[in-house]
Structures are given as C-alpha cells and as structure tokens.
Structure 1
Amino acid sequence: MDLFSPIVEVVKLLCVPLVQQIVYLRDLEENMNVLRNKIDELSSRENDLTTELNRAKLQGWNPKDEVNNWLKNVNEAKNQVTGIQREFGENKRCLKGCLPNYCSRWKLSRRSLKLIAAVDELAKKSSFDAGITIAPLPETAQLIPTSSLVGNSAERTFKRIWDCLMDKEIVSIGIYGMGGVGKTTLMKNVNNCFRDAKHFNIVIKVNVTRHFNLKRLQRDIAEKVGLDLPENNDEECRFSLEDVGIPKPTVDNGCKVVAVSRSDGVCRMMKMQINIRVDLLSEDEAWTLFQEKVGKNVFVASHIEDVAKLVAKECGGLPLAIITVGLALSQETDIRMWENALYQLRRSIPGIEGMEDKVFEILKFSYDHLENEKIRSCFLYCSLFPEDCEINANVLVELWIWEGLIDEMENKQAEVNHGQVILNKLKRCCMLDSGDAQDVETVKMHDLMRDLAIKITRHSPRFMVKAGIGLKEPPPDWEWVEDVERISLMANEIKILSCQPTCPELLTLILSRNPLSQITPHSFFCHMHKLTVLDLSSTPIEMVPESLSNLANLHALILVSCWKLKKIPDVGKLKELRVLNLRNSSIEELPEGMERLRKLRILDLSSTEKLERFPVGILPNLSLLEELSMLGSSCLWSSNEAEMMGRRIQIEEITGLTRLTSVNIDFADTPSFSWYVRSLQQRVLRLNSFCIHVVNSDIVALYRQNLIHIRGSDFFSRLNIFFLLLEDTRCLEYVQCENCNGMECLIVAQDDNSNSLLLPRVHRLNIANMPDLEVLYRGPMVHGTFKTLSILEISGCPKLKNLFPRRLFRSLQSLEHIEIGDCKIMEELVEEDDGCTNDERGKGNTVDDDHVIKLPGLQSMRLWSLPALKNICNKTLECNSLIHIHIRECPHLSKLPLFINKPPSDSKGRLESRETMVGCFGVGGSRHQSTLRPILHRRGRI
C-alpha cells in the first residue's frame, strides 16, 4: 500500500490539470459565444459613452484621461476578439485535414477565457461614477463687448494701468473717478487685452454693488476658478481670497488686485499700492466725441456748430453725458431745438459734491428726449431689477407687454417684435447697455442711469424699489403709499409678508426670488384693484391669499418654480388675465374658473408633475390661446377615447384653437402624435413653435420660434415627420438634429417643389450622433438653399462620406465657421459632380465650370477625428477671410486646396495641427503657401 501511495498522489496531481486541458477543448464553442456576447455588450457601452462624450465636446468639456484609457483598452480588446474570432472561423485541421487541430483549439480556448476575464474587468470599470468629463481650463479672460477708448487722455490712462499691471513690483492698483467718466470701459478694454497676452493664468472680473453680499461675492469668484464652495450658513462669514484658491497678492506669487471705485477713499481704505484717477475729457476730446454722436453733417450750418459747442461744454467732459446728450440731439438741424437744449442744461446748478447733481440733470435731458412716454416708462421699468443685474431681454419685454406698456396687437409675436424695437432704441441712445452673457440676450443699466430712474420714480410715477438689497423683513406699512405704481422686492431674504397695504394705483408687484413662504392676511390684495402683473416666481409660497380672486385687472400671474404651491384660489373673476404661468410648481389641480379666462393667451403648466387631472372642456373655451406649454407635466395627450381618465387629455381639446402658435405637450404614444399631425393638415404651417414629446417613442422634436431641434432614435424610420412638419421652412434660422437612428438623409428636394425655397434663412446647422445619416442633401438643386448659412457643425456621423455636392457648396457664400469631426468614412468635404441634369438647367441651376469655389466669409475651419479624410475638395477654395484652421486626427489629409489673396493679420491668424502639414497645400503651389505662411508659423505647431 505504501508502495503505491506516491504513485496515486502523482496521478492525482496530473489528473487535475489534465482535466482542465480537456475542458479547454470541450468548451471552445461555448467560450466563443460568451466572448461574442460580452464584447457586444461592451461595444454598446462604448457607443453610449462615445455619444455622451461627443455631446460634451460640443459644450466645451473634455474627456477624463481614465475615460480615454478605458476607450483605448476597449478598442484593443475588440481587436483581439476580432482576431480570435477570425482564427476560430478558419477551423484549422491536422493530418491533411483528417482531424481537428486540437493544439490550436486548446490555445484558442485558453485565450478566449483570458479575454472574457479582461472584457469583464473593462465592463466593471465602465460606470465612471465620478463622471466622464472634466471642465475645460477657463480662458485667461472672457471677451467682454465694449466700446473703444475716446481721446488721448483715456489712452494715456489705459497705458498707465497696463504698465502697472506689467510691473512685477506692483501688486495692487486702485482706479477711481466719478460716475460715467469711463472707468468700466477702460477696465473692459484692459480685460480684453489679456485674451492674447500670457502674463496671467486667469483674469477674474466681479461686480460689487452697494448692497453686496460677502457670501455671494466669494461664490462668484469661486465659480470663475471652477471651485465648489461648501454651503456655509454663517451670516457673518469673512471674505477670504485664500478660501477660493487665490493667494494674497505678493511680488513672489504674481497675483494682482485691481479695485475700481468712484471714490479715492475706497482705494485708500483698501491700501492699494498705486491709485490712478480717470479724468474727464479735455474740451477738444469732448467736442470730437460729441460730433461723432450727433453726426458731423449737422454742423454744416455754422450757427448750429456755435450753439452745439456750448451744449457739449455743458456736459463737463463726462463721456456718459456727452454720449447721451449727443444721441438725443442726433441729426437735429433745427437751431431752436439746440437753443432749448442749451437753456435746459444751463438751468442745473452743480451741487456740493461737484458734478453729481448736474450729471443727473444732463442724463434727465436725454431721458426727456426719448421718443414718447411709453418708451420712458419702459426705461424706468428696468430699475425694478437689482443693481448691476443682467436682465434677460425676453423676460423684460414680456413684462412690458403684460403691464400694457406695449400696445396690444394681433398676436404676442408682434408685441415682442415691438418690444425689441424699444429695447434697441434704449440701447442706441445709451440708456441701456448690452449685457455680458454669451448664451442669452441680456441688458444692463449703468449705475448712474439706474440712479436717475430711482430718482425720477421717487415722485411720479412713484416706485418702491428695494430689489437685491438683503432685506429680511418687508418694508413697513407707511412705505406702501397709495400712489405707488410699481413695487419690486425681488432677490431679498423676506420669509413672511404680513401687512395690509392700500395701494389702489399699484400696477406691478414683484416678489420673486425670496424665501417667501407666507403672505398674510388673506385680504392682502383687497386694495390693489389695478394690479396688472403679479410675480411670485422662485419662492416656497405654500398658499396664495384668497383675495387674489378679486384682481379683475390682472394680466399676468407668474408662479414659476413655486415648488411648494399645491393650489391657487378661484380665477374665474380674472377676466383680463392673459398669462397664467405655473411652470415647475407642485399644483395638484387646476384652479376653479379656468374656463372663464376667455382672454388668456399663454398657459404654461410645464413640469407640473403632481397635476392629477385636466378637466374636459376648459381648453376649447380659451379661444385666444396662443401658447400652450405642458411638457414634463404628468398629464399626457391621447387620441384613444378609452384612455380618457385621470392623467389623459383628449387631443381634440386643442384642434379647434385656431390662434395657437406654440405647442409644447407630451403625447401618450406614437399613434396619438400621428393622429394630431394628420388633424392639423394645413394649420400646422402656422405654428412657429412646437415642442413634442412622444412618451412611448424616442422622438423629441422641438421647433421654437426660429429653431428646430430634433432628437430621437428610430422614429424617423417609421414616420417621415421631419418633412411632414416642415413643408415651409422659410422661418427657420437654426436647425439641430441629434441621435436619430434610421434617418439616412436630412433634406430631400422634390422635383415638383423646386421653386420653393429650402431653408433660405437658416444660419446655423448642427448635426450630431446620427448613426445612419449618409447624405445631407438629396435631389435637384434648389436655388437659395443655405444661402444664409454661417455656421456648419457636424459630428458623430459614421456613414457620412461627404457634405454637399459641389454645386450646392458654391452657394454657401455666407459660411463663416465649419467644424467636422468624428465621421469615420468621410473622404472629402465636397462631393464632385460633373454637372446638372437637363431638367435642373431648365430650372435655372447652372454649374460654374471654373476651378475655384469662393467662400468669401469663411473665417474658421476645424477638422478632427476624420481618419479617412484625404482631401477637402478637388477644386481650389478661395477663402480671403480665413484666420483659423484647426486640424486634429486626420492622418490621411494630403492637401489643403486653399487660396488666400492676402495673409491674415498677425493678431488673429493661426493653424493648429497635430499632424505634419508642411507641403499639404497641394493646389496653387508656392503662391498659396506664401499667403498662408502667417497662419502656418505663428503657433509653432506645424
């Protein structure tokens, strides 16, 4: 027994690995199936991740390194799987094909198991709980729109400030001067110079108002450097630059602080190392600026010039006063008007503080010379917003409309257009400034202009403006005077409003952006019979006083983001109500009396997720309704009468509303949406805005005013909704399509429709993540198509081989920016076409047989991740405005057939490339290379 024990043990040791080797042979097919399924799942995750990254890239975000590494490892794993699958398919055999090659199968099985483990590991790492992107590094300085400096004195002051900033020994600078002297313009010009200069990593500009909040100031600075500050409830928190990652300025660390104030005392108090005064303009500089604003043709008559010089002198060398008075008298040729202006300006007497009182009189002269009383009222209305506030232009115009400052017209769009005209007039005469926001139009009031408005409204019309000043308690009863017309308490810290105001003349009451949870008593609104606009947006109000029901003259009830509001009182008596906005509230049921709001034009119930039901019969009574928004509401629209219970609304409720121009609703399913589209027939062409979400499909179509945004999955392979809804595309200015499976072509021009213009006004076309898109344009050439297109952005289209036919590309005369990326099989941007058909020639389409395509407005070209791209075009592109070329991951791009008559300016032109681009200018030889040389060598990255 003892003799065999060692032998048995040896056999046992050999059996286990031998069995394992046999298992390898036996399970090869199963292992390959498992591997195929797992790599398919991993590829799906990779595709989803790539889609997210492409969308993030469009917003300027960058993938994290760990995500890039993961994608690289996935690609390697896919290549290995492809290789092993190819070997498995070859079915190798031995002994002249008599037996399977067991050695090869054994190796394949072992490799497949290792790959399965590797794929499993990659799948585990694909969650990226901390996110897949990081914010891009902030620009050194954000470009701020501003005017140029006026006069030699301003240039000298600018140079002195710049020299101090460049001096390593100076770490703090104070800039002071009276209001309207041009301090802000100076600093905006300084800021913009830092965009090209590389002396600092980042330039941060923050505004400090008279009623500033330390925490808010610290948060503003933190946002500029991309730092998230923890919430701190300590009201007495001390401001610290160190807390937001900015060290105290010293000679060693290179940080600098510039403080700008009206008072030199502030600069001294802050112990600024150097204080620089911004002086008034000299008499000659003032006269030059005044002439520019009035128009030199006015001074042909010498007798006007003599009086005009005296008027300019009365402005005291203050740029803001000179500009506003000059614009008020622009193109005025009546000597009597000039003499009257001089008389009015001379009446004001300088106060103890020097110019301040006189400045107000000068600015009031400009105010008095506004075209009419309604425009003056629109200007004063802007003072209801907090100091230094970026006022959303659309919101402002709508408030003007609802208060009646803009005459009622045939529809809201006409009123908005008129409001925009007024807004532009106020900006042109410098009563309002353009805001700094990039993504939305905003306006601002110069602090002196706001002070002027506040001063005017202390008497008539009387306002009570206490916006954004940190109030924790409401104004005392005695401040709610009987003749007050507008009250703004927005953006404060008021939690309870408890008083019984008697304000029979009150037209507008703005209480938004307060932690306001309660208004008492219930009779609060009883003595506000003329109230026209009530704004309680962004408050945690739980209940609106019952006296709301008696506001018979109310035009707009704005309760946006009142997230605790579940119910509002009866609205049946609000016969004049035009706007009811309950967006993002917790409303559970519609208020009583809705069906009696026969003048209602806008109803917004978007994101009302707790709305239980929408009673039948309300909407057909709202015959003047123009805009209906219910996107994100719990109520869905359906054509199935059997489902008309609870949170379902019958589509027929809105088909009879002939004035509707904007529809934003959720459909229960695709058949319901199709039914709605068919029911509209011709009327759909009158909609200038719609937003449609089909719940049981992937489509989301958005057509807002002049924009259409289509996002979906396979909906377009089942219903050609795009062309059904867009038979008339003349109003579109911005088209965006993304994530639409099944869409092979964006635009199809029909033979019988060639006389109609296709997208004649579109200025921006954005296509992203369209997996099946093969061509952008198909069919005969329609004259005028894309004639105003200025921005073309395409990414994530793996089946797109080129952009446009050459005959269409020639029409892109307005194109300024083109960006193409992540199109795997794109070989060239411009498709060669030898000519048009005879039919097309008969319809006026001709082909230019020369070898040059002119794109006179093209300024920027970005090409990235185009592995198959060999050429842009077989013809020469003449681009005389080109200043920026960016090329990345285009390994086969052999030539850039670009021709520029003159090189770009040294300050702007550049070519950025990660590939070797020397010698790529294949058409035109050395002449083209020489004109592009300033671009090629400026960045040193060729």
Structure 2
Amino acid sequence: MTVGTIAIVASVCGCVTVVVNLISSPCIRETVTKRYHFFKKRRERLEILESKRNDLGRQLYEVKRQSRGKVVLKSFKNSEWLKTAKNLMKDANPLRFREQISDINPFYEPLNCFSQYNAGKEIEDFIGRLDAVHEEGKDFLLVDESVVVGRLRGSRTKLLGEAENKIKEIKGYVTGKDFQTIRVHGMPGSGKTEIVSAVNDSILNDYSMASSPPSTLPITGNSTKDHFDKVIWVTVEHKGTESPIDNLQNKIAEQLKIDLKTAGGSRADTLANELKELTFLIILDDMRNDFPLKSIGIPVPTLENGCKIIIVSRSLPVCPDIRIGKYVKIQPLPSGEARTLFEIEAGIELSKLREDIQANAKKMIDEWECLPFTIIWLAQTLKELKNNDGSHVNDVVAWNATFDMLKESPDILDGMNEKAFNRLKDNYDALNKETQNCFLYCALYPSGHLIETKELVEYWYWEGLINRNDRSGHIEDMGQAKKILHELLRAHLVEKVDSPQDQQGLPAVEGKHDMIKMRNLARKMAVHLTSPGQFLIKAGEKLPHAHLPLQPGKYLFGLERASLMTNKILAIMEQPKFSKLSTLLLQNNPIIHLHDNFFCNMPNLKVLDLSQTNISTLPQSASCLKNLTALLLRNCPYLKALPSLENSEELLLLDLSDTPITKLPDGMKKLTKLIRLNLSRTCVGEFPAEVVHALVSLEEVLMITNDDSATGSLLNGASSIEKPGILSRLAILQAKFPDAEDFNRYAVSKTHHLYKLKVCVGDVSCTHETKFRKNSVLFIQSDFHVKGQPITLPGETYELHVMRNLDLHWLPSYSLDSLKVINISGCESLVYLFKRDTLYNLPNIETISVEKCPKMKALIESKGDSGEVLPFQLQPHLDHLEVIHISDCENLVYLFRIEMLQSLSKLKKISIRRRQMDKYNEAKEPKELVLVDPLELNNNGYKGEIKGNNPDQEQTICFHELKMEIITSHQPNPRLVFCLHIKV
C-alpha cells in the first residue's frame, strides 16, 4: 500500500472517530453544525473573548472608581457584582486557552480534535458570561447619592494609644442613646479630624461588613430604625466668595442629591424637609462660627428621631439652638506617644541614637508641642539624615545643623506642609486686626516665657493697641482686653499656665495675676509673620552685644517694635535710626551705659522698658521722647537720677520702684496725662503738694509697695504724699500719712473713690514682719484717735493693723463693715477688743489676731462700767469668722459666753498662746469660754479622750460633751500652747 493511500485511510478514520465521539457525546441534543462551529471558530472566538474581557476590566475599574470610599445601601448590590466580575476576570484569562488551541489536521490528530472542540465551547460560554456581567455592570457605573450611606475618610496618620481611646469614646457616644450632639475640640494639629474620621469609618465599616444592617443606633420605643440612613461629612470652608452657611448647605444638598437652586421654598427649609425623612449622622468639621442649625436646615437631633451630630472645632462655640450633649477635648500627644509617632514616620529608633543626639531629638519633639501634624513634618524633615545604609544616623554635625535650622530659621514654617501651616494660620486670620496685633506683641517675650497677663495688657494699653477711651476702671479689667485674651486662648495661640507658686503647690499670693504662655508653634508663626522688617526679636538669646544697625536697611526701615530683653548686654554704643519704632524692651540686661544720643532718632517711641538693668541714669537724649507713654525703670539698683521729663507730656506711666533714686525728675508738673506713678521702695522722701496739684489725671499712686506679699519691713524709705484729696480721679492709693490727723482728713473727705488702698499711718521706720495685702491700713506708733474721737476707716478697708499704739482701749463700733482681718499688736492700753454693739458691725470678719497686749482681759466686753454682767440676749452675726488667735496677753481670762458659739458657724480654730494657765474654778457646766486647763476640766467631771500618747509632742484632748477639742503642745521654752478647736 502506497503512502498516499495510507494517509487517505487515516484521514477517513479520523473523521469517523470525530463523528462517533460527537454522536456519543452528552451534548447530543446540539446540532452538528453548532458543534462544528465551536471547533472551527475557536481561534476567532478567543480574540473576541480577550476583547470582551478587556471591556469588563475597564468597566470593573470604573465601577471601583465610582464606588471608592463609598458605603452604599445593602439593596444596591455593587459589592456583589464587583466580586463576581473579579472572579470572572480571573477565570476567563485567555492565556489558559492559547496553550490548548493550535493548528491541527483532524485526519492526523483525531484525538486532539475533541479537546479543541471543548476549548471552543468553553470560550463561547465565557463570552456569554462576560456579556451578561458587563450588561449588569452598567447599573453600577454611576453610584447615585440616593444609595450612598456615607463615605470612608481613611487616615494617613498612625493613631496611637490615647487617640484610639478617644475613637472608642466618641463612637460610644454616637452609638449610645445618652447624647445626641457631640463637640470634639482642641488646638490645630492635635488630631481632631483624624480621630473623628476614624469614628466615621468605623461606623460605616460596621454597616458594610454586616450581612444585614447592623445596630448602630439605640433602639427606642419611638425609633423604627437601628442604623443611620445617611452619614454626612462636611468640612466647612472659610475662604472664597461663598458664605460659610451657603457652603455648608450646598455640600449637604450635594450628598442628598438636591438642587437648591430649583427647589421651592428657602434653602434651609428644603434641606430640613429632606433630612426629616432620614435617620442621619452629620459631622461638621472645622466649625469656627456659631451657626444656628435651623438657619442651615439641619433638624435638631433628638432621642426620638435617632439622629446625631458631631461638631469638630478648635474652640468651644455652641450652636445657639441646640444643647451640646458631650464635650470631648483632644489634647496633644503624650510625650511617649509623640516619640513613638516620630520613630514610625522617620524610620529612626531614638534608642539607637547617641545619647546627645537622642536628647536633642526628644527636646525638639517636645518644643513642637507633641502635635501629630508637626511631629510628622519634623520626622519627614529629619528622615533625610538616614541613608539607605543608616550610616549617617549618628552624624552629630548633620543632626546639630538640622536642629539649628529648625530652631533659628525665620522661614521654618515655609517648609512645613501647606495644610499643616494653614491649620494654625487660619486661626490667626480669623482674628480681627486689633487681636492680631496684640497676639504678635506676645512674641516680644522669650520663647517659653511665662507672661503675666496684667503686664501684657498694660503693654497693649501703653502702646495704644487697645482703645484707651473705653477704660472706665482698672486697665487689666478692661472689657476689650479680656475679650482679646479670651480670643487668643480660644484660638489656641496662647495657653493658661500655673504661676510658679501654683506649680510648687504653695498658697496663692494675693496680687499675683494670671499667667499665659505662647504656644511654641504659635510663637514661631508670629516671628515668621513679623520678620523681616516689622519686629526685631532677639529676646532670651544670651547675646553679649545688641548689634543694632546704625542705618536701617530696606528690611528695617519700617521697624515698629524691638525686644532685646533677657540677654547679657553691658552697653549699647550705637546710635540707631528707627523713625517708626514704638516699643523698645531692654529689661533684664546688665546694661550700664547707653550712647548719649541713643534716643535722638526714635521720635515715635512710646514704650521704653529698662527694668532690671544697671544703669545709673538715662542719657540726655531721653528728653527728646515727646511721644513716650510708658517709662519703666523697675529694680535698677544703681539708678540715681533722670533727665528732665518736661517734653514727655504724653507720659501715662512712670515706674521707678525698687531704685535708690532720691528725688522726682524735673518737669513732673508737665505730666498732666500721667495716670500711674510708682515710687515703691525708693528713697524719694516726699511727694510735694505743688506736684500733686499738677497731676490732674493721676489714678494710681504707689509709694509703699506694689507687692501684696511684701512684709512691713519693706516700708522703709516710703514716701509720704501731701494733700492726696486733691486727686479726684485717684483709684489706687498706696502711701504713707505722717499722722492720724492727715489720714482722717482724707478718709472722711468725699473726694475719693478708691479701688485699692494700702496705707501706713505713723512711723514706718520701725521694722516688723506683718504682711499687707490688698486694701490694708496700718497704724504704727500712731494715735488711733483725733481730737478724742476714733479715726474713720475708708469703706474699702479689708484689713486693719494697729501696732504699738497707746490710746486704743477698744475698737470703735463704726466703719468696720468691710473688715476681713483685724490684727492688733503691742497696744498697752487695750482692755478688750470689742464692745457688745461692735459685733453687729463686723459682718465680713474672718480672722482676729491679738498679740502682746498685757492689759487685755477679754476679747468681748463682759461687764458694764459699774461691774454688772451685761445681758446677752441678741446673738451677733459673725457668719464668716474662722480663726481667733491670741498670744502673750497675760491678763486674758475671758473670751465670750459659750452660747455665742452658735453664732460662729464657720469658726475653725481658737488659738491661745501664753506663759501660764489660770485654774478653772467655775461650776461643772461653764457658761463662759474662759482659759482652762484640760486637767481641771477632767477634775470637774468632763471626761476627755486623749489622742497622742507622747507628752513631748502635740496632744489633742476631745471633750465630746462640750463639743470641743483642746490641743496642747510643749515648746523648748516654758510657753504653753493652748488651742481650742470648737465643734459647733
């Protein structure tokens, strides 16, 4: 048989084999033509499969893009379609068929023909499935807002321990039933938005991951839904031509698919009508203004409607038509978490750095306030120090250079992330111009400086940053000043801090004022905004020289304020020319000399502070300062004299306290606008009447001390003032009166309306340790009577101190209404402190102290002039009396009738110190509170319970029947300390 014959026979056999296989196939119902089509068109259909698969891939991408970040209603089954399409794309991969399909001769490869047919048939099946899924996917190409429950926010910031706790806390408030409105607040960059974004995502993820709508709302009797129909996130825009309310409404309407332009009725009503049909959670991010919800169109959330609102803000404004249910404050990161975040973002482990570099890095993190966005930026900046091999991670030079750049560069904020910088600057931009100027003024202090608010507000006043015409009382009490401070605190540009006394847990000292501190980042921004040219700030930099330019360049031509405070400058030999300079702060420098013409070219200078310097006098050029409003020379230990102030007619403040200056400068009579003169602790002997007459605007005269914690020994050298009654505008007087007659003449006059007073009458050359606080009057070696009549105390007197007096037998029964403290010492004529009728004129008394009055027999008069016992029918009202202290009054045997204790509701302690104890000789039931020995009380039937067994230490003996405790303690000297703690 020839080869050709064999080939023909084989082909025929192959065809017969295919036919037999097809006939015997389970698909026998299919026509032979269709089956042959699968085989013949297999290669062509594979190309069609690939094309349709590519079409589905593009559709899959578009549906994903449209759905990205959106959580939709369960009825909108796009997630199921995405899953189906993704699986089909995987199964219908053309590569798996290319290996099966090849050019064959069915007569030579009859067995392979059947696998080719199967591949063709499978390709045809996939084409049909691709067509069906593609057609179904058209419904998901556009995700209509009506099916969107909410949008996922995502977070690029690593949220650590405390942030995670806040997320759980806020989510608990949202999903619980106790609070319908939650206010999340904190300073810019503290992570508020990131934390609330995580809450938003958590709630939406709970919904999308559940097989059925999860319970994200409390089910109440009046609520028919257990999930939010709509979660709306709106970030409030504060820039642009559109008003914030319009912007809010448009963003909400967009998510509700409402056209506010074509809708009938008002915009707010249209939104409200739509939202009333929904159970919503609305998150308003970056709220800065107080918008009534009604004006926006948001229904007030209630327990019944199941709606919730989260308001994210930097401060604490409150929408006037809703009640905030819960406030959540977001604090900067704890130091440890801030360092962990830095390590994560920088990819640098601090523990692996050299100790000095590690310390500097930690300090830098703390200086940037532990705010997440600043820590991330700092980490990204320092990340460049780490090479791929980590070889530069301990490069001291590189680290120090970077640290110096971050600390000192005035353009540091330019390098920050724009969003991060704008977070802070937006707060600044939201302030009015006056408040902005006052904020920038704070930057004149050194970094981290604790600023006394009283001093700061007064700087603003002297500079003219706040309206002087609005003042009706004390400068620090001006409404405008308080409002500005409130706005700065609310904007998180400054923060309240405890005074050093508070930080050490010491008692508060009267006269100390509130303290604030600029936030480090805010100060850097302020320096950035005022440099170069507006401010020259070199405060607290330990500079040995001033380096003031003699000729200001283009950047310093408009210099308005300069601060060189707290440096090491010994002298300034330059003669600068600053025609616009209004504030010059040079305090706290060891300056001993200024150039003679230093002030010649500062015609606009208003505030000059040279306090705590070593100058002995000001240069004569200071007489040229015609616009000067405040001259501060406090605590200059070598100051002896001043040039004439005749030309400084605008001067409002002259402070020479704590200096050895002996006389007032020339030209004082020209200072007709002066409102405060401080000569505390100076050597100026007298304030003559002719000068007093000229200073018609004077409101504050401080000639004793301006330190309310100071002891009386600091009264040495205090000046006396002649005829202060002339000063009709005087509100604060701290001065010496040479005798009781002069003081009484002023006290009874109708010209004074004092806000504060601190007055010494008599000989102040004597030293003593009594502390004088606000509104105190001290009589020392001075008569207490004028022409046989007791003196009159000003109505504003809170404390009365009488020392070494010879004509005081008892206190008068009038002009004592305001007294809180009475302190009598060394008055040899005192027999008793009060008459019975006096007690009714002491409604505010808190402390009574009597020392070294040898003739004193009783605290309160007990017998009349003829010796009869006075009746005690009416109870005095000493509702505020807390402490009675009596020491070294050897003849004292009687305090007051014991039933008077019923009137002393706040009495905490009676302390009596004396050298010996009188015997108790009364009946078993004492009717008068007399000095007693606890042993005598025991002998008379009163059982005392002793607390404390050591006789050398303090003992407390409780007499429960008498409702009193007696405390005794033994001193190294023979004095017996005797204290009664009355338990009324």
TM-score normalised to structure 1 length? 0.49
Structure possessing the higher radius of gyration over alpha carbons: 2
TM-score normalised to structure 2 length? 0.47
